[in-house]
Amino acid sequence: MIKSEKWLEILKLFVESKDIYLSGQEIGKKLNISRSSVWKHIKSLQEKGFVFDGKTNTGYKLHFPIDTPITVDAEEFNTTCFGKNVIPLIETESTNDVLKKLGKNIIHGTLAITEKQTKGRGRRGRQWSSPFGSGLYFSIFLKPDLPVYVIPRLTILTGVAVSESLEKFGVKTKLKWPNDIMIGDKKIGGILSEMALEGNEIDYVILGIGLNVHSEYRDFPPDFRDKAGSIKTETGKNISRQFLIKEIIYSLEKRYLEFCKNNGLLGEIRTLWERRAYGINKKVFITTGKDKELCIILGLKEDGTLLVKTLDGAIKEIFAGEVLF
């Protein structure tokens, strides 16, 4: 990360001015820094992946990615806690790890968001491909006053919050238990929730969300290309990541507050999840370890476990595992 926060102010100026060229002199005057310092920051931004169009004697304008979510200010989130402290990063290993390292020194609702992850992590030790400029990669830090056993339900809640946010942009998604966000048969997003305990109590929870927004198939690892997609590849839409992050953070806080008020009961979330459930009432393979079994998904239990029927008619509850596709 570039140490000075001036890089962020410069980036914000470019995002705000959209198609207008800005000169080094203008920027320097606004931010009270020298012209050479402005150019140094622009060069640094270019090295990280931002592309600028330059015009002799006129200045620069930001060419890509103009919809960068890392310039969204805390005040732009229509929330009380979520996103009220933002850690914007151009590049980092993993936003979950950023929050984990800061641990005790950050407040409930802190949001870490980046343009690129070099060690993005998924569930079960998988890698989460996070190229520059093409997705939303962010994590929220929570200090829940809830019993430990309800925490896995937050993944279900987060899936619903993301899905309902996407619907506001005309994008319909399905939720594949427990943490995948799908369009058709392609995974376009995932949730990685991690918890730290202090004795028997929750110290903190980190909700990490990755969404492929503008990615192309070539951006995914070759052995995952037939299963992964993005909002762009599956719908043809170019959604603004700035607007999308604001909507998700709003919806996430709203659903989280209801959940806390309900003492960790899913309530309405359960129905909202089932309505969007990938593979519901269909035969799908479920794995809970090494073996896989063909089952019919019946729905979700109040505690967030998956209810299935095996082909010989037995009803099973799946606590940990995965729906294959």
CB 281 within 8 A of CB 296: yes
Name 263's Cβ contacts closer than 8 Å, sequence gap at least 6. Answer: 146, 150
At 196 the three-state DSSP class reads strand
> DSSP string of 157-188?
HHHHHHHHHHHTTT---EEETTTEEEETTEEE
Q: Does 139 bind ligand BTN (CB under 6 A)?
A: yes
Contact flag: residue 209 with ligand BTN (CB under 6 A):
yes
Assess 128 for contact with ligand BTN (CB under 6 A).
yes
By CB under 6 A, name the one of 137, 250, 259, 278 that touches ligand BTN. 137
Whole-number Å distance between alpha carbons of 131 and 149: 35
Q: Find the binder of ligand BTN among 116, 121, 270, 276 (CB under 6 A).
A: 121
Is residue 129 involved in binding ligand BTN (CB under 6 A)?
A: no
**Closer of 22 and 99 to ligand BTN (Cβ):** 99
> What is the rounded distance in angstroms from the CA atom of residue 89 to the CA atom of residue 109?
17
**Window of 64-72, 113-121, 148-156, 290-298 that interacts with ligand BTN by CB under 6 A:** 113-121
What are the distances in angstroms from CA 2 to CA 65, 110, 264, 286, 312? 18, 20, 40, 45, 59
Q: How far is the CB of 140 from ligand BTN (least distance, A)?
A: 10
- Name which of 8 and 209 has its Cβ closer to ligand BTN: 209
Number of residues that bind ligand BTN (CB under 6 A): 21
Q: Which residue is nearest to ligand BTN (CB)?
A: 190
List, as one string, the DSSP characters of 207-222: EEEEEESS--GGGS-G
* DSSP code at position 141: E
Instruction: Please report whether residue 68 would count as binding ligand BTN according to CB under 6 A.
Output: no
Nearer to ligand BTN, 138 or 250 (CB): 138
Q: Minimum distance from CB of 211 to ligand BTN (Å)?
A: 8
Residue 212 C-beta: closest distance to ligand BTN, Å: 10
Q: Among 37-45, 143-151, 161-169, 207-215, which window interacts with ligand BTN (CB under 6 A)?
A: 207-215
- Tell me the backbone φ, ψ of residue 75, rounded to 5 degrees: -65, -20
Asked whether position 174 contacts ligand BTN by CB under 6 A, the answer is no
Q: Would you count residue 122 as binding ligand BTN (CB under 6 A)? A: yes
Q: Which stretch binds ligand BTN (CB under 6 A): 147-155, 205-213, 219-227, 235-243?
A: 205-213
Torsion of CA 18, 138, 187, 214, to 10 degrees: 10
Which of 129, 179, 215, 233 binds ligand BTN (CB under 6 A)? It is 179
Peptide bond into 178 cis (omega under 30): yes
Length of the chain: 325
Q: Which among 30-38, 164-172, 204-212, 302-310 is the span making contact with ligand BTN, rule CB under 6 A? A: 204-212
Site for ligand BTN in 242-301 (CB under 6 A): none
Residue 208 as a binder of ligand BTN (CB under 6 A): the answer is yes
Q: In what order do the strands lie in the sheet with 315-318?
A: 315-318, 306-310, 292-300, 283-287, 322-323
Tell me the β-bridge partners of 117.
Answer: 92
Site residues (vs ligand BTN, CB under 6 A): 94-96, 117, 120-123, 126, 128, 137-139, 179-180, 190-192, 208-210
